[in-house]
């Protein structure tokens, strides 16, 4: 098990759910509402799991590999993207299900999410596979799967300040480095 594969699995499920929404007749508002509700909750849970588990680990691996600025930029961008996705999801909720405005808002959420996934797949996930060994990726996969399982009913959407997020994560890593977990422990195994 590898955290990058779990994230890719989530991405495939997100794409699948968006495709399902696109194929349901607009008069079936109960079905549209149910599928959208599942997708909206899943998007937020996925973002939170990444913010709790993946991005701090990416920062840690980047620091250990002396590539901090690159992974910082990727993380800043990802947190910004997550905020845009949250805002797009909130916009969908402002419209009556099945209306043109609702479909337009769903399409905007799909676009924001698709752009984020493509960038993450090209950059963050690729970099993490290069920087972290399979043993570490497995440990994180277990934590990621457990986080999603514990929060299967959803999490509260909260926008985050990207710079504040990165600074807090780096501070936590520095604090951990002086304790039992050192940044150097992230080197390839």
pLDDT tens across 27-83, in order?
A: 999 999 999 999 999 999 999 999 999 999 999 999 888 887 889 999 999 999 999
99, pLDDT greater than 80:
yes
Does 182 reside within a domain?
Answer: no
Beta-carbon contacts of residue 88 (< 8 Å; ≥ 6 apart) = 105, 108, 109, 112, 113
φ, ψ (nearest 5 deg) of residue 57: -70, -40
* pTM score: 0.88
Does 29 reside within a domain?
Answer: yes
Give dist(CA 173, CA 61) in Å, integer: 10
Give dist(CA 75, CA 154) in Å, integer: 23
Q: What pLDDT score does 188 carry?
A: 37
Does 179 reside within a domain?
Answer: no
Task: Specify the number of domains making up the chain.
Answer: 1
- pLDDT tens readout for residues 129-184: 999 999 999 999 999 999 999 999 889 888 999 999 988 888 888 887 765 433 34
Does 189 reside within a domain?
Answer: no
Task: Supply the range of the domain harboring residue 101.
Answer: 3-172
Q: Are 89 and 109 in contact (CB under 8 A)?
A: yes
Does 181 reside within a domain?
Answer: no
What are the structure tokens assigned to 138, written together? 């497995």
Instruction: Give 81-111 as a DSSP string.
Output: HHHHHHHHHHHHHTS-TTSHHHHHHHHHHHH
Beta-carbon contacts of residue 29 (< 8 Å; ≥ 6 apart) = 97, 98
């Amino acid at each position: 098990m590898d955290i990058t594969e779990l994230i890719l699995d989530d991405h495939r499920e997100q794409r699948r759910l968006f495709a399902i929404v696109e194929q349901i007749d607009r008069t079936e508002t109960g079905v549209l509402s149910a599928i959208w509700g599942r997708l909206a909750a899943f998007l937020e849970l996925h973002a939170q799991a990444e913010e709790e588990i993946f991005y701090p680990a990416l920062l840690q691996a980047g620091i250990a590999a002396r590539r901090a600025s690159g992974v910082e930029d990727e993380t800043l961008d990802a947190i910004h993207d997550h905020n845009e996705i949250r805002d797009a999801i909130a916009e969908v909720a402002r419209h009556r299900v099945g209306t043109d405005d609702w479909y337009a808002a769903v399409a905007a959420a799909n676009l924001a999410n698709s752009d984020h996934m493509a960038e993450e797949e090209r950059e963050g996930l690729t970099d993490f596979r290069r920087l972290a060994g399979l043993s570490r990726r497995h440990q994180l996969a277990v934590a990621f799967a457990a986080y999603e399982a514990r929060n299967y009913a959803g999490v509260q959407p909260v926008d985050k300040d990207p710079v504040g997020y990165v600074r807090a994560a780096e501070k936590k890593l520095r604090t951990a480095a002086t304790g039992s977990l050192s940044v150097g422990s992230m080197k390839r195994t």
